[in-house]
Chains A and B, each alone.
Chain A
């Protein structure tokens, strides 16, 4: 398998009052293309920080992160923005849909930056993404009319609509009931297989843990085991 993501000796710390919190302490990791993997660990272990580094949402203090062989650790804000838009899809714990946009508009949002796409092409992509998550009939609804599970499916469609190399999902099932979680996990696993999109989760969820190809456990900002 090709290494889509390489995390090499990454350190990250944050100021918290007068002290520094060391969220990542020299962690190294590889994610292969097409993988369906999860990063697990206790709260504060550094899972989200690690995903933020991989997702170019934050910069490491030391070490480097390579995405498709390109060092993305110290790119400009503009380059990181473009990279996130083109290569990475995000699924957030709180769904993070834009409330003033309809379901279709939310899904279309990242495509607005794809100037090479015509309006027609964007519409087709949105329709396909909504069909993939079985929400075609909700296209014109607004997020406040949807259930939690439906909102997270919209978020999945938005993450996949740009046809990214990698989807990062930070605790995607934390706000969902077990039945919805089960359906959502199956949906993401299915999309992973059908579309060969790489999924990396951070999670506490046993259902999700049991469904992934690989589990990486971290504690105090370091990898402790992989399975």
Chain B
């Protein structure tokens, strides 16, 4: 009986081919759009998460001294992690299988100079091997290869022979008028000891080497300086860092600022979904040791505001469009089913006369609507996946807002996003079909049999 009902429902779909094909096309193209939109959102999320966690060094979990995130820049001695706290966090991380890597980070501000001018700089101290491991991470290679690559030269770890290798954001490099990285200046005549600033010769003299002077203030208030060698330049994941960021070895930044402290320790996990649990477990473990710390995950707005804010906006936009498209498609199916029911009024009366109850007829109509929507969704899924593959093969690039440089325009539909976007349709269609059929099905068989419609 059930099989027969599905068979009849299937055959009924082909009775008015033109109308049902139009409905099917509406569902298919509407859902194809949703698959592409969802795939774009998945791609953007992956890109932003990868940037936030690995390239902006937020980690999946970050541990700051209590209130350090707000106050460490003003009172670093009081609000940065001392060596004991750093060791406690790193030891805990070593013993937890969920943690892939961990490392201490030091943030500082200072000046970067070219011997003619100086510019404010945001200094990030990180262990070069950790930096390299993060840049080589498969997730980074997949989601953000453009930003993991240097614009010129190499990253720090490739120049272990250099005393103070630094990587400079491309915008700051341009402001400092230092066009060549260390490898490009080898074999060139050296610059004079005193540069002819503000003369036509200055550009040539600045291009003669990759030296950049770093000036900072130690934690006890003294001025400090280091000569850095620009081994590479890069595009920062955030536009705000493009004109200011310098990445340097943690030890060298500590030397510049005369400290052994760290702004925070970042943990990089095998599975990002473990972040809340790891943060909670680590927070408890450190509290038990009497350490006063704050733990943040990459989904905390105060720690990763760009990622969280962008995803909130994108999520609500995709959700709204999905809802809108689903409602339109549900009404499209409801319209088609209304016509179907009106056209088949006498036939429904015949079924009722033969002994089929109202609920059976409702079941038949619901099956037809469900088949129509599922078929449309299946076609839409195939079209959406094919469209995504075609777009990805097209090699298009674009500049995302807030990100320096361009990235590949990729659509990465995920099974969960496709399922989530399709999930509204079947229940909506069933509800709408029930709604449009209930008045007809309430009628007596004789009313249906004598209805003026065919």
Contacts and interface: CB of A to CB of B under 8 A. Distances in A.
Interface of A: 52, 55, 57-59, 77-78, 81-82, 84-86, 90, 92, 94, 96, 98-101, 109-110, 112-113, 115, 158
Q: Which bucket holds chain B's interface residue count?
A: 20 to 34
B8 A101 contact: yes
Contact of A100 (B8, B352, B355, B446): B8
A27 B317 CA distance: 68
B355 A110 contact: yes
B358 interface: yes
Contacts of A92: 350, 449
Contacts of A58: 444-446
Residue picked from B11, B357, B446, most chain A C-beta under 10 Å: B446
Query: Top 9 closest A-B pairs, CB basis?
Result: A85-B355, A100-B11, A96-B350, A57-B446, A58-B446, A110-B354, A57-B445, A52-B446, A81-B357
Nearest to A56: B445
Contacts of B15: 99-100
B346 interface: yes
A118 B445 CA distance: 28
A82 B357 CA distance: 8
Contacts of B12: 100
Contact of B354 (A78, A90, A94): A90
B92 interface: no
Nearest to B13: A100
B1 A112 contact: yes
A101 B364 CA distance: 14
A98 B7 CA distance: 13
Contact of B358 (A57, A77, A99, A101): A77
Contacts of B351: 98, 109
B444 A84 contact: no
6 contacts: A55-B353, A58-B446, A77-B357, A81-B356, A90-B354, A100-B15
Contact of B1 (A94, A115, A158): A115
Given A98-B350, A115-B1, A82 B355 contact: yes
A23 to B, nearest CB: 11
Given A57-B445, A58-B446, A90 B356 contact: no
B357 A84 contact: no
Contacts of A99: 15, 347
Contacts of B4: 112
Contacts of B445: 57-58
A113 B346 CA distance: 20
A85 B353 CA distance: 8
Interface string B423-454: 00000000000000000000011100100000
Contacts of B356: 81, 85, 113
A44 B338 CA distance: 31
A90 B353 contact: yes
A110 B352 CA distance: 10
Nearest to A52: B446
A11 B439 CA distance: 26
B355 A86 contact: yes
Interface in B223-255: none
Contacts of A96: 346-347, 349-350, 353, 449
